[in-house]
Amino acid sequence: MRTSLLRSLLAVAAVWAVSACATKPPASDAAATAEYRDNNDPLEPTNRVVYAFNDGLDTYVLAPVARAYRWALPDVVRQPIHNALLNMTTPVILINDVVQTKPRRAGDTFMRFVINTTAGVGGLFDVAAKVGYPYHDADFGETMALWGVPEGPFLFLPVFGPSNPRDAVGYGVDVAFDPLTYVPSGHGLRTFAAVRTGVAAVDARSQVLDEVDSVKKTALDPYATFRSLYRQNRESTIDKVRTEDRATVPNWYAK
Amino acid sequence: MTSTRRRMLASAVFAVASLSFAALSPAANAQDSGASGFVQGFGNKLVAVVNADSAMPAKEQQLRPLIDQAVDVDAIAKFCLGRFVNTATPAQMSEFTRLFHGVLVNNITSKIGEYRGVTFRMTDTSMRGSEAYVGTVVQRPNNAPTNVRWVVSSATGSPKIVDVVAEGTSLRLTQRSDYASFLSHNSNNLDALLAAMRRQVSTGG
C-alpha cells in the first residue's frame, strides 16, 4: 500500500515538471520581485489547483470524519488513542534523533518508548512525559535541513498538503524507516498497519480542527495563509532542533 | 572544542557575567520583567473575558477595549500592509487601519472566544533588539498545549504587544502574506482589499 503511494507521488512530481509556472514580476518592480522570491512558490498556479482539490476532499470527507470522531468519543478515549499512535512512531523519531546527532533527544525518545510501552500499557498513557521525558517529533525532512539540504520550491501535494521537495523525500524515507512498513501478511498485521494509517490521519486532522476552521474563516486568501503558516512553522521547528545542545554528561560532572 | 567543554566555558563566562551584570544592568532586567509582567496582566484579563459565561457579542465588546489598550494595532496594521504603505493615499491608509482594528478583534474572538476553561502559564522571556519575547504555554480544552510568544515593544513609551507568535508562526507575518497575495490577485488594487475587509468586519468573520 505504501509503495503504491510513493509511486503516485512520483507521478505527481512528473506532472509538476511539465506544468504551468507563476509569472515572475518584471525586474523593474523591486518590491514585487522580492515578494515573489520570499514566497518561494514558482509553481503557484499548479499548487493552487491541488489546494482546491485537497480543500474539497477535506471539506467533504476528512474534516467531517474528524469532527464525528471528536464528537463521538470523549477526550479520555481519544487521548490514549493519540498516545498509542505517537508511541508507534517512536522508532522513526529515534532513528532521526540519532542521525541528527542529538544524543539527548535520542535518549528522551528511547526512554519514552521503554517507559510508555511498559508502564504506559502499550503506549496508551504518556507516563514518560510526567517523569521528565517530554515528547518531540523528528522527521527526515528536518534531518536533511540540519544537514544543509535546501528546501526547494514550495509544493502543495495531493492529500498530503503543504510541503517541498525536501520534506516530500523526507516523508518517503520516514516510511522506509517505519518497522510497520515491513510487516508480513497474515495474523492481520497488514490490516493493523492500514488501520493505524487511517486512524492516524483522522487523529491528526482532529487535532487541528479549530485552527483550520479559523484560517478558512478569517483569511482572504487561505492558500497563501496556509503556505505562510507551513513555512514559518517548519523553519521554527528546524531552528529549535538546531539550537538544542543539552550536555550529555551529568550536571555535577560538567561543573 | 567539544560541546561539553564549550558548555563548561559558557557556564563559567555566564557566572562571571551574571555577577557583574547583576550590579550593572538593572535596566535590562527591569525591561525584561516589565514585559513579562505586562503580558501576565493582559493574559489574565483576556482569559477572564474568554472564560466568562457571557455570549459572543458581549465578549467581543469587552475584548475590544482590552486589545486597544494592550496591542499596538496601528503598528501591526502598517506592518501588514507591507510595501503598499508607500502607494496608499492617506484616506485609504486611515480606512485600512480602522478596518484592521475590526478584523483583528474578530480574528481573536473567533480563535479563542468559543472556549471555556482556557489557561496559560508563563515561560521564559528573552530580548531581541528592543523587543521582548515573552513566552507562554496556552492550554485550551480538547487541544494540545500551544507555545505562544508575545512580542512586546516599548517604542511608544509604554509596553505594547506588536506580534503574537504561535508555534513559530507570527501573526503579523502571516497576515501580511495573506494581504499581499490577495492584492497580487486583484491587480494590486487597494480598494479591493478594503472592500473585502469591510465584508469581513460586517459578517463578523
Domain that holds residue B189: 3-203
Rounded Cα distance, A212 and B166, in Å:
14
Residue B19 confidence (pLDDT): 40
For residue A38, pLDDT beyond 90: no
Interface touch A218/B110, C-beta < 8 Å: yes
Interchain CB contact of A244 with B (< 8 Å): no
- Indicate the length of chain B as a whole number: 205
Residue B169 confidence (pLDDT): 93
- Report whether A181 contacts A2 (CB < 8 A): yes
Q: Which residue has the higher pLDDT, A112 or A3?
A: A112
Residue A251 inside a domain? The answer is no
- Report whether A160 contacts A171 (CB < 8 A): yes
Which residues lie across from B79 on neighbouring strands? none
For residue A11, pLDDT beyond 70: no
Interface touch B182/A245, C-beta < 8 Å: no
Residue A254 confidence (pLDDT): 64
Residue with cell 477535506: A58
Number of domains in chain A: 1
* Angle in degrees, CA B88, B92, B93, rounded to 5: 70
Residue B203 confidence (pLDDT): 80
The shortest C-alpha distance from A19 to chain B (Å) reads: 20
Interface touch B4/A214, C-beta < 8 Å: no
Rounded Cα distance, A171 and A97, in Å:
15
Close Cβ partners of B187 (under 8 Å, ≥ 6 residues apart)? none
Number of domains in chain B: 1
Which residues lie across from A162 on neighbouring strands? A156
For residue A18, pLDDT beyond 70: no
Question: Mutate which of B169, B172, B173 to disrupt the A interface (most A C-beta within 10 Å)?
Answer: B169
Residue A7 confidence (pLDDT): 61
Q: ipTM greater than 0.90, yes or no?
A: no
Name chain A contacts of B143, Cβ cutoff 8 Å: 207, 210
Reported as a pLDDT band with limits 50, 70 and 90, residue A9 is low
Rounded Cα distance, A142 and B200, in Å:
37
Interface touch A247/B184, C-beta < 8 Å: no
Helical spans, DSSP H, in chain B: 3-24, 26-51, 56-70, 73-81, 90-112, 171-184, 190-203
Question: Mutate which of B2, B86, B142, B197 to disrupt the A interface (most A C-beta within 10 Å)?
Answer: B142
Q: Which residue of B has its CA nearest to A223?
A: B178
Mean pLDDT (whole number) for A185-191: 86
The shortest C-alpha distance from A29 to chain B (Å) reads: 11
Q: What is the DSSP string of B62-110?
A: HHHHHHHHHB-HHHHHHHHHGGGGTT--HHHHHHHHHHHHHHHHHHHHH
- Split chain B (205 residues) into runs of 10 and give each run's mean pLDDT: 49 44 44 80 89 81 87 94 92 95 84 78 90 91 83 90 93 94 93 95 74
Q: Which residue of A has its CA nearest to B3?
A: A247
Residue A81 inside a domain? The answer is yes
For residue A68, pLDDT beyond 90: yes
CATH number for the domain including B132? 3.10.450.710
Rounded Cα distance, A238 and A233, in Å:
9
Residue A28 inside a domain? The answer is no
Residue A21 inside a domain? The answer is no
Domain that holds residue A223: 42-243
Reported as a pLDDT band with limits 50, 70 and 90, residue A48 is very high
A101 φ, ψ (degrees, to nearest 5): 50, 50
Residue A4 confidence (pLDDT): 57
Residue A8 confidence (pLDDT): 60
Interchain CB contact of B189 with A (< 8 Å): no
- Report whether B58 contacts B171 (CB < 8 A): no
Close Cβ partners of B198 (under 8 Å, ≥ 6 residues apart)? B99
Name chain A contacts of B194, Cβ cutoff 8 Å: none
Interface touch A254/B11, C-beta < 8 Å: yes
- pLDDT tens by residue, A212-232: 998 998 899 999 999 999 999
Residue A19 inside a domain? The answer is no
Residue A249 inside a domain? The answer is no
Name chain A contacts of B182, Cβ cutoff 8 Å: 220-221, 224
Residue A99 inside a domain? The answer is yes
Using only C-alpha atoms, what is the Rg of chain B? 20
Buried b (16+ CB within 10 A) or exposed e, B54-90: eeeeebbebbbebbeebbbbebbbbbbbbbbeeebee
Residue B53 confidence (pLDDT): 81
